[in-house]
Structures are given as C-alpha cells and as structure tokens.
Amino acid sequence: MQSLQQLLDFDRLHIWHPYASMPNLLPVFPVDSAQGVYIRLMDGQSLIDGISSWWTCIHGYNHPRLNQAAHAQIERMSHIMFGGLTHRPAVELAEKLIALTPEALQQVFFCDSGSVAVEVAMKMAVQYWHNCGLPQKQRFLTIRNGYHGDTFAAMSACDPVNGMHHLFRNILPQQYFAEAPQISFDQDWQDQDIAGFEALLAENHDQIAAAIFEPVVQNAGGMRFYHPEYVRKAKALSEKYNVLLILDEIATGFGRTGKMFACEHATVCPDILCVGKALTGGFMSLAATLTTHKISEGFAAGEAGVFMHGPTFMANPLACAVSLENLRLLESYDWQSTVRAIESQLKDELEPCRSLAAVKDVRVLGAIGVVELQAPVNMRVIQSRFVEEGVWLRPFGRLIYTMPPYIIQPSELKAITSAIHKIAAQI
C-alpha cells in the first residue's frame, strides 16, 4: 500500500489534471470521501464544498436516494449498447427531460459529457440545413466570453482569447463572434446591446447554421450575468435570418439561476438545448441534446438518412437511472425557495466584499455568487488559503465564485462567504 506522499508523487508525475502542466506544478489535495456538502481529505480535514464539483452536485455527495438508484440499476445492468436496443432508464429519463424543458423540445440525444452534447448540437444544426438543401450553412454565430467545452467544435465557439484560439488556428473551425452582452441581468435593456449580433447575422446568415450561446449566465468564460432580453431578441433575430438557436444550459440547467432552465428568464424555447453537469446530480457523467420535431423530421429523407452520431456509451443505463432519480429528487421539494434563500444569503454576505480594495464587482444570481477581483488570483496561494479556511472553492482568472449544492445549510454557506471575504481582504 502506497503512503500518502507516494500517492501524491505518482499523481504529480504521471496524471494530467484539468488545465494542468506535466509534471503538475500546482498542489492537488487527496480526497478520501465526500458526504453531503463535506469533502473529507485523506489527512482527515473536512472542507465545505462551495462549487458542487464544478456545478454538478446539486444534492451533495453520497446521497442515499442516488446511491439506491445506482445499486438497483447495477443489479440489472450497468451498461448495454444503445444501437438496436433500448431500456427503461433511457425512456423514463427522456420523458422527464421532455416534461421539464420548454414544450417544443421533444427529441433527446443522450451522450457522455457536456462538450459532446455541444458537438452533437452543432453537428445536428449543420446536418439539418443539409437536409433542407442549404449545405453551405456550416458556420456558427456566438458571443465573446462564452465557454462550451474542450473538443474542437465546442472550443471553436469558446471565447477566442480565453480559449487560446491562436494555438489551434489551423485546425479550429472559424466562427463569428459578437461582442459579449454588456447590459447586466437587472439593468434597463437597450436594443443597442444586440446590434453587433444582428449585424453579423445580417451579413453572414447564408453561411450560418446556428447561433450558440449560454443563456443569461456566461459561466466559465467570466461568470457574467446578462439581460434576458438579449436571449429573447436573439431568438427573434435567429428566426428572421433563418438560422437555428442552440442554447447551452450545461451549467445553468436544473435550477441554478432560480429557474429550472435559464431560458425561462426570457421565455424562449431554443431549437436545440444542451444539458449536462447537474443532470446526474454530479453522480457520474451524462449529458443530452434536445431538439424539436421541426429539426429532427428531415433526417430520414436527408442524404445520410440518419443523424451521423452514436457514441459507444450512449444512454448508459446506470447514468440514466441515477439522473432520473436526481430529477425526481429535485421535483420532490420546493427547490425554487431553496435557491431563493441561497441567493438572498449570498447577496447579504458577499455585498460587503464590494468595499475591499482588491474587489472590482460583486454579483449574485440564483445559487451563483461571484466576487470579481481587480487582478488575477495567484492559484497556488489562494487555493491553499481556502483549504486552510476549511472550504473548497476553485477561483480562476479574476474570479472567486461559489455555486454551492442546494442542500447547503445557512451556517455552512456563511463559512464559505466569510472565507471569501477574509481572503479577498488579504489580497
């Protein structure tokens, strides 16, 4: 049996971590187990989780209902191929997703991760126009500061600077980028904010298959909250210029912004919707791309006769069974009030950060609290400081933010906001 130090040494030299170098230059903290909102490190320390394992774990870790659903499904089969076969977990989960999402979304494509859900959405849009006899529509319109995943098509729609597009310039598809929306969630709307988006559509709609962006909250591209009217106007403009609208709700879906889906702030139904992350309550990886009859109906008569995508682990029964239970769990309590209570506590307790010298802005929407700093954080220092304070957060760039599990108690959330204030005050 390896000692803790041997384990860490091996990890540092041999295992890639997300957005890390090799050998890894930043500390990683070894986890023994996790329960509720607590992450237990191998040295015995407990951390309160403030980011829900990258926004997935809305009901905390080791939830008995999710565990039970997984156990029951494992006894039947944990996996079976989806080509030529189907199963109850996939059908029941698809029914649930169709019921929860805007009404016109009626068809579900299951896949393994958020990035792949975005790839599927983009491919679906291109193939749709091919089916319609407009094969030249193969490019995408998006907005700066977006993030859609790390695979090539998804990356091509990420912010060109944050996404390091110059590194991959000869292989990345070239997309159209409108300026990021400037009017924040509760400021007064002005049509000027979407003028750049419209100008790009007006000029290039013949080439554009779809507009793709994250509705209302831009997450990994800057934790920005923008006006829902932007989404409404973008939908109308997409229709006017004959392009599809893809909304990426991988981060915002399942209640995080205070609505089940962020597109509900704008009462907009996209042509294609991507979901992932909290879909399984953070239990395991699963994502889905939903679309309408209008989009799907032409595929059989198109050149390929089918939609050209079919991953090996598509609709993995174990992931579907856990997801279904997670969504039933979400529906079993008044999550809207829970998220509102988190929102109001975050507003009260993060607001004092605004007066700190190092802080540029403080913003809260739903169960998302953001403290934007004047300068980028030093990850090596700040990550360890939060661990010393007993909380788990993962700041990036100029952002310290929290997206806690919905089951967090007020005293636990207070520990997170206090740590944020304390550490921001020391910068």
- Binding segment for ligand PMP among 142-150, 200-208, 307-315, 393-401 (CB under 6 A)? 142-150
Q: Is 19 assigned a catalytic role? A: yes
CB of 219 to ligand PMP, least distance (A): 4
Q: Which of 102, 149, 222, 255 is the binder for ligand PMP (CB under 6 A)?
A: 149
CB of 53 to ligand PMP, least distance (A): 11
Q: Which is nearer to ligand PMP, 223 or 373 (CB)?
A: 223
Q: Rounded to whole angstroms, what are the CA distances from 353 to 290, 347, 359?
A: 40, 10, 7
Residue 215 in contact with ligand PMP, rule: CB under 6 A: no
Among 39, 20, 50, which Cα is nearest to 418's? Answer: 50
Are 271 and 245 in contact, with CB atoms under 8 Å apart? yes
Q: What b/e string do you get for 119-131 counting C-beta neighbours within 10 Å, with b at 16 or more?
A: bbbbbbbbbbbbb
Among 357, 369, 361, 373, which Cα is nearest to 413's? Answer: 369
Which amino acid, residue 370?
V
Segment 91-130, which members bind ligand PMP (CB under 6 A)?
A: 113-115, 118
Cα 16 to Cα 14: distance, rounded to the nearest angstrom: 7
Catalytic annotation, pick one of 112, 235, 277, 406: 277
CB of 7 to ligand PMP, least distance (A): 25
- Binding segment for ligand PMP among 29-37, 247-255, 386-394, 410-418 (CB under 6 A)? 247-255
Retrieve residue 278's tokens.
């909290």
Q: Which is nearer to ligand PMP, 149 or 163 (CB)?
A: 149
What's the alpha-carbon Rg for the chain, to the nearest Å?
22
Q: Is 137 assigned a catalytic role? A: no
Report angle CA 271, 330, 227 to the nearest 5 degrees. 45
* Dihedral, 18, 23, 26, 27 alpha carbons, nearest 10: 100
Q: Which of 159, 229, 248, 349 is the binder for ligand PMP (CB under 6 A)?
A: 248
Q: Which of 60, 102, 181, 276 is the binder for ligand PMP (CB under 6 A)?
A: 276
Beta strands in 179-316 (DSSP E): 208-213, 217-218, 224-225, 244-248, 272-275, 287-292
Residue 148 in contact with ligand PMP, rule: CB under 6 A: yes
Catalytic annotation, pick one of 128, 147, 176, 226: 147
Residue 180 in contact with ligand PMP, rule: CB under 6 A: no
CB of 208 to ligand PMP, least distance (A): 20
Helix (H) or strand (E) holding 363: strand 359-365
CB of 192 to ligand PMP, least distance (A): 26
Give the residues across from 363 on adjacent strands.
370
CB of 287 to ligand PMP, least distance (A): 6
Pairing between β-strand 287-292 and β-strand 272-275 as defined by DSSP bridges: antiparallel
Residue 63 in contact with ligand PMP, rule: CB under 6 A: no
Helix axes 88-100, 317-331, angle to 10 degrees: 40
Residue 219 in contact with ligand PMP, rule: CB under 6 A: yes
CB of 379 to ligand PMP, least distance (A): 17
Q: Is 277 assigned a catalytic role? A: yes
Q: Is 406 assigned a catalytic role? A: no
Q: Which is nearer to ligand PMP, 131 or 289 (CB)?
A: 289
Contact set with ligand PMP (CB under 6 A): 113-115, 118, 147-149, 214, 219-220, 248, 250-251, 276
Catalytic residues: 19, 147, 248, 277
